[in-house]
Amino acid sequence: MLTSLDDRDGLIWLDGELLPWREARLHVLTHALHMGGAVFEGMRAYGGRVFLDAPHLERFQRSAVLLDYRLPWSSDELSQAINAVLWANQLDDAYIRPLAWRGTESVSIASPHARIHVAIAAWDWPTAASQGRAEEGIRLHLAHWRRPRPDTSPTEAKCSGLYMIGTLARHAATAAGCDDALLLDSEGLVAETTATNLLMIRDGVLTSPLPTCFLDGITKRHVMELARQRGLRVEERAVTLEELRRASEVFTAGTSVELQPVVALVERTGTTEWPVGPITRQLIRDFRRSVTATRQEDVAPRDRQQHMNAAHTVDGCTTP
Enumerate the active-site residues.
Answer: 158
Element counts in the chain: helices (H) and strands (E): 8, 18
User: For the stretch 61-84, what's the b/e string if a residue is b when 16 or more beta carbons lie within 10 angstroms of its beta carbon?
Assistant: bebbebbebebebeeebbbbbbbb
**Burial of 2 per CB tally in 10 Å (0-12, 13-18, 19+):** exposed
| Under 8 Å between Cβ of 10 and 21 | yes
d(CA 86, CA 89): 5
CB 188 within 8 A of CB 181: no
Q: Residue 259: phi, psi to the nearest 5? A: -110, 135
- Give the CA count within 13 Å in the CB-facing half-sphere of 255: 23
- Alpha-carbon span 90 to 311, nearest angstrom: 11
CA separation, residue 105 to residues 30, 33, 72, 160, 166 (Å): 8, 13, 17, 19, 29
Amino acid occupying residue 214? F
Query: Cβ neighbours of residue 190 under 8 Å, at least 6 residues apart?
Result: 182, 184, 198, 209, 239, 240, 241, 243, 244
With beta carbons less than 8 A apart as the criterion, state whether 57 and 281 touch.
no
Q: Which of 93, 122, 100, 98 has its CA nearest to residue 9?
A: 122
The span from the CA of 64 to the CA of 68, in Å, is 6
Is residue 102 within 8 Å of residue 116, measured between CB atoms? yes
